[in-house]
Structure 1
Amino acid sequence: MYDAATASEIGKTAPAMQRVRGTARVGFVNTAGQTRLKDLFQSGSAKVRLPKVYGEPATAVLINTAGGLTGGDRMDYDIAIGADAHAIVTTQTAERAYRSLGTSAEVTGHLSVGAEATLEWLPQETILFENSSVSRRITAELTGSARLLILESVVLGRAAMGEQLTRVFFKDSWRIRRDGKLVFADDLRLNGDPSDFFSGPATGQGAKAMATLLDCAPDAEDRLDNARICLESASSGSVQAAASAWNGHLILRFVATDSRALRLSLMAFLETYRSARLPRVWYC
């Protein structure tokens, strides 16, 4: 027999839903001319793998063992690259943001790059599902002539599965400082139906995926012509991209109606622009 009073009491005493917590910290230094691991910490669902590489920069692969994000989850990443070192940080696969019951998943990344050092932050795409809610914040501290190459790409649903999003919340905030001075700030906020805010000719014109690539270095402006040449060979009919440069920053924006086309364009561009292959996980 159904007892409404009993059911009500059960609801009151039910435990809160479990949420994902993850923290990963990775540090590299230059020792005798080689970049070596100095610091490694991981807890919760945040894991780090250090694949063997030969003739390539040291590489760290971030993994979310929870398989994705939902409301109330929190992931924190801290990457430190010492002076004269060079490292790549990427992810094992795309990050998936699932339906939220009201609160946002929070993702933070703090990047520190020493003098004459290079950090390539090249995670794979973030896929937003229906009613997902994600708030991400990336901060970077650069010293002297440090170089930061940073990529973030976002996909609105899985077109191959016939998904059509009607509501998402996604907030992305970047703050980059060099020698303590704020030199770059960028904010993106999507709230509502993507078909509304991506319908205009100046706002994607029906885009389903987008990406931002920033090269932050004292000589970044000198790479603008090369970047535009690389874009010509990497572009396709469903991908639009443009590049600009100022005050030690080279920035590229990509929008695409097809996420697979965007991924292939990004890979082609990065391989040509960097004159190097991407980490192996990008080809899996």
Structure 2
Amino acid sequence: MTQTPAQALQASSGYGQTRSWPAHLRLRLEADSSPAGGKALLEGKTLLEGKTLLEGKTRLKGLDFAGPLRIQRPFYPEGGRCHLYLLHPPGGLVSGDRLAIEVAAEPGSQVLLTTPSAGKIYGRDSAGVVQGQQVLLRAGEGAELEWLPQETIVYRGANGVLDTRIELAEGARFIGWDLVCLGRPAGEQWFEQGHLTQRLQLHRAGRLLFNERLCLEGGDWLHRDRVGLNGGCVFGTLMAAGTGLDDALIGELREALPGPDFTLTERLGVLLVRYLGTDMNICRDGMWRAWGLIRPAVLGRPAVIPRIWLT
């Protein structure tokens, strides 16, 4: 089809329906195969060598990226467990931005991924071009994977898509969350217009255990009504899958996270902690508290706050 002069000008200047700035980041993490690290991993023990703790150290073995997606160097505040901070230097998504993040935690690896600050989805351009992020997380047999990004702020007028898919082997363990703030309530900039599509999926050994999709127009009935978000502008979901999700843990969580803003459910081996309200500080603090209780039960280790959260 022949472009009009106006369409050709838009395309050449980076605007219009064809506007696009894709970026991808692919990570592959493996457990240390050295004799000391491998032995510690197989025996479930830790070895002390001077002041260095070896625990089947997880190493970044694969890194592929294009566009504005990076990571900081790996950190090891917990011995062999690898902490990675994902960076998006522009600081937010404008129309046409498409981020694709793929993480493969190989069998026996242990990794925590987070971000240094909130993600942002800005208002769309006059052409209404979609902007969004797609995340694919894979954890092999015996792997421990934590996906704990800071919240995503969806600005008024955005046309955002958030898609997260988790694929776990039979013996893998996972804790992750997705926290969203609609608009900027502190500045009284409400999400009365705009669009957000969000999908969360969790698979275990090829079986779909959790599947949720939200398709929201700012200010529509789903946003306002009690059967939807009840006028709330902040919502979050924490997912945990693995051993240790028993009645005792659920009881502790219910005591620590009183309703009605927080709710808990467990089905098919997946524990969900949800928040719906108007305050991201309450949501974030509650999710940190929940993580502090879930992590020892599922992963057998205390919660170690990533230092980037405190800066």
Residues 130/85 of structure 1: CA separation in 2 closer, same or farther (3 Å cut): same
Question: What is aligned with 1:64?
Answer: 88
Question: What is aligned with 2:265?
Answer: 244
Question: 1:84-95 counterparts in 2 under 5 A?
Answer: 84-95=108-119
1:231 to partner: Cα distance: 4.3
Distance 2:154 2:224 in 1: 18
TM-score, length basis structure 2 = 0.80
Cα contact 2:108–2:144 (8 A) shared by 1: yes
1:163 to partner: Cα distance: 1.1
Residues 177/269 of structure 1: CA separation in 2 closer, same or farther (3 Å cut): closer
Is 1:133 matched up with 2:131?
A: no
Structure 2 gaps of 5+ residues are 38-55, 296-301
Work out which of the residue numbers 264, 275, 279 in structure 2 matches 1:254.
275
Residues 193/141 of structure 1: CA separation in 2 closer, same or farther (3 Å cut): same
1:46 to partner: Cα distance: 0.7
1:180 to partner: Cα distance: 2.2
1:277 to partner: Cα distance: 2.6
Distance 2:164 2:267 in 1: 21
Question: What is aligned with 1:283?
Answer: 310
Work out which of the residue numbers 208, 215, 231 in structure 2 matches 1:206.
231
Question: What is aligned with 2:72?
Answer: 49
Distance 1:9 1:143 in 2: 53
Distance 1:220 1:103 in 2: 44
Distance 2:161 2:113 in 1: 20
Question: What is aligned with 1:13?
Answer: 9
Question: What is aligned with 2:212?
Answer: 186
Distance 1:10 1:204 in 2: 41
Question: What is aligned with 2:46?
Answer: none
Structure 2 residue matching 1:174: 3-state secondary structure: strand
Residues 242/11 of structure 1: CA separation in 2 closer, same or farther (3 Å cut): closer
* Partner AA of 1:34 in structure 2: K
Distance 1:193 1:58 in 2: 42
Is 1:77 matched up with 2:101?
A: yes
1:12 to partner: Cα distance: 5.0
Distance 1:220 1:245 in 2: 12
Cα contact 1:228–1:243 (8 A) shared by 2: no
Residues 9/59 of structure 1: CA separation in 2 closer, same or farther (3 Å cut): same
1:55-89 CA-partner distances (Å, limit 9, x unpaired): 25211111111220122110000101111111011
Distance 1:245 1:165 in 2: 31
Cα contact 1:155–1:210 (8 A) shared by 2: yes
1:119 to partner: Cα distance: 0.5
1:270 to partner: Cα distance: 1.7
Structure 2 residue matching 1:273: 3-state secondary structure: helix
1:51 to partner: Cα distance: 4.3
The percent identity for this pair of structures is: 24
Distance 2:58 2:159 in 1: 37
Distance 1:72 1:271 in 2: 37
1:10 to partner: Cα distance: 7.4
Cα contact 1:25–1:39 (8 A) shared by 2: yes
Cα contact 2:121–2:132 (8 A) shared by 1: no
Work out which of the residue numbers 100, 107, 126 in structure 1 matches 2:124.
100
Residues 104/9 of structure 1: CA separation in 2 closer, same or farther (3 Å cut): closer
Is 1:160 matched up with 2:186?
A: yes
CA RMSD of aligned residues (A): 2.2
Distance 1:50 1:235 in 2: 38
1:187-228 CA-partner distances (Å, limit 9, x unpaired): 12212316x4333334343312000111122x3642x53144
Question: 1:219-234 counterparts in 2 under 5 A?
Answer: 219=243, 221-222=245-246, 224-234=247-257
Structure 1 residue matching 2:66: 3-state secondary structure: strand
Distance 1:158 1:225 in 2: 37
Distance 1:54 1:61 in 2: 13
In terms of mean alpha carbon deviation, does 245-254 or 176-185 score higher? 176-185
Cα contact 1:70–1:133 (8 A) shared by 2: no
Cα contact 2:75–2:84 (8 A) shared by 1: no
